[in-house]
Structure 1
Amino acid sequence: MPGHDYIELTGGPLDGQLLDVTGLTPDERTAGAYLITPHNTHGPRGRASYGPTFTRPDGPWV
């Protein structure tokens, strides 16, 4: 969507999906996020932790 910033998620159950980070502050972007996974992946209320790497802070989250 025009005017939005997206980060690609790599590895884990959400591999290949894009996360809209438009409203996140710079501190929130460096902290990463715990994201809800599909029910069949890790059971009910499953979470996956994604965040930037030190070598590519503006690159995909792993």
Structure 2
Amino acid sequence: YEGIEVILDFFEQVKPFLAEKGEILFIFSSHAKQDKMKKVLKQVGFNLNVIGKKRIFFEEIYLGLAILV
């Protein structure tokens, strides 16, 4: 999954600890490609909303809200 393996592993492992519709705030880089991140998180049972972003040098840093569905 090109650059999002650690995040994907985290979301797969955290699911048993979350309540229904549990939420996780996390940050990720524009290098991870927002569309790809949404698609992969959906495959493991989360919806992703980007609720903030900041441009830093040659990338954007996103604040994501992942909700267990």
The TM-score with structure 2 as length reference comes to 0.31
Higher percent of residues as strand: 2
Instruction: Select the structure with the greater relative contact order (CA < 8 A; seq sep ≥ 6).
Output: 2
Higher percent of residues as helix: 2
